[in-house]
Structure 1
Amino acid sequence: MPDGDRVALERLIAGDVRALTAASDEIGHSFSARHGLTANDFRALLHVTVSEDDGDPLTAGELRTRMGTSGAAITYLVERMLESGHVLRDSDPSDRRKVLLRVAEHGKGVAREFFGPLAEHTHRALAELPDGDLEAAHRVMTALVKAMSEFGEQLNRD
């Protein structure tokens, strides 16, 4: 494949990522509005959910770092999320002194109700694609998440 074709493909993928981010942001805004969450509440809930799904739940301090907020601001945010029933505190089974943030059953139910139809749309959109394409797409998405995470870490260091 000529280098120009590769550059063009990478540009197309970068454009797709921007479009996906914009569509995701729109959906997140709708979710937040329907459930009385601020933009930061939604961001926090997303971080807690992703980390828990990855098997590495966050502490409030780790959430503070990811959100780039003060300790007081994250305490207030976490308390709001606890009161709304979206998250809960849980002791780390390997270190009882460590407190982890997890998505509460109420938060999971609200997310299932709202995002279930998105899963159906996604399933229909992907139904005609062969498994090999989906495997390749997963590899691409994994590489993009890694690149974006590394860039985010670099921005936080600078």
Structure 2
Amino acid sequence: MEEPDALERQRLRSRLVDLLNTYSSEAQHIGHAFAGRHHLHATDMHALLAIMHAERQGAPLTPGRLGEAIGLSSGATTALIDRLEKGGHLRRTRESADRRVVHLRYGEAGMALAQAFFTPLAPRTDAVMEDFGVAELQVVERFLAGMVASLIGYRDELRAK
């Protein structure tokens, strides 16, 4: 006979995986809606998210690092960057002493479109987070960071095969 903690852990594992899958699916639906309204490809959305996340972390992506992050060849990455830059979604900058190094930044026009589309979602997510204390949110942060790291590790293994 299993202990009550083991049964609850098993139930939670199953429920959390289901919730993460549902969250991922719903987030993709919203992302596809944004992409569809602004004539973007799914790959464009992945690129813009990678660029936004890198900027938030204070480490803007280079074209090579963007290609690695989303699994594109050099040529496909260049075509993607050209398309997104033409549409005002991103801009190339030269910020280092080495003028050959190009960094990718979210474009002002693209940021305005994203803010207009996603801002109505913010009060909904804020309302959910307000139901949790700081310590609880820190646990959620640690959990989600671990889950993301596990997915990235598995993705990298798949790419290596």
Q: TM-score when scaled to structure 1?
A: 0.91
- Paired residue for 1:61? 64
Pick one of 17, 20, 45 that aligns with 1:17: 20
- Paired residue for 1:116? 119
Q: Secondary structure at the match of 1:89?
A: strand
Q: Which structure 2 segments of 5+ residues have no match? A: none
> 2: CA distance between counterparts of 1:106 and 1:32?
14
Q: Deviations over 1:85-142 (max 9, x none)?
A: 0000011325432111110111211111111111111112222222222221111111
- Paired residue for 1:79? 82
1:7 CA drift (Å): 2.6
> 2: CA distance between counterparts of 1:130 and 1:66?
33
Larger Rg: 2
> 1: CA distance between counterparts of 2:70 and 2:129?
32
Structure with greater proportional strand content: 1
Q: TM-score when scaled to structure 2?
A: 0.90
- Paired residue for 1:36? 39
**Which AA in structure 2 matches 1:116?**
T
**Which AA in structure 2 matches 1:117?**
P
Q: Secondary structure at the match of 1:26?
A: helix
RMSD across aligned positions (CA)? 1.6
> 2: CA distance between counterparts of 1:150 and 1:78?
26
- Segments of 4+ moved more than 6 angstroms: none
**Which AA in structure 2 matches 1:86?**
H
- Paired residue for 1:96? 99
> 1: CA distance between counterparts of 2:34 and 2:89?
13
**Which AA in structure 1 matches 2:114?**
A
Identical counterparts, % of pairs = 31
Q: Which structure 1 segments of 5+ residues have no match? A: none
> 2: CA distance between counterparts of 1:58 and 1:5?
42
Q: Deviations over 1:136-157 (max 9, x none)?
A: 1111111111111111111112
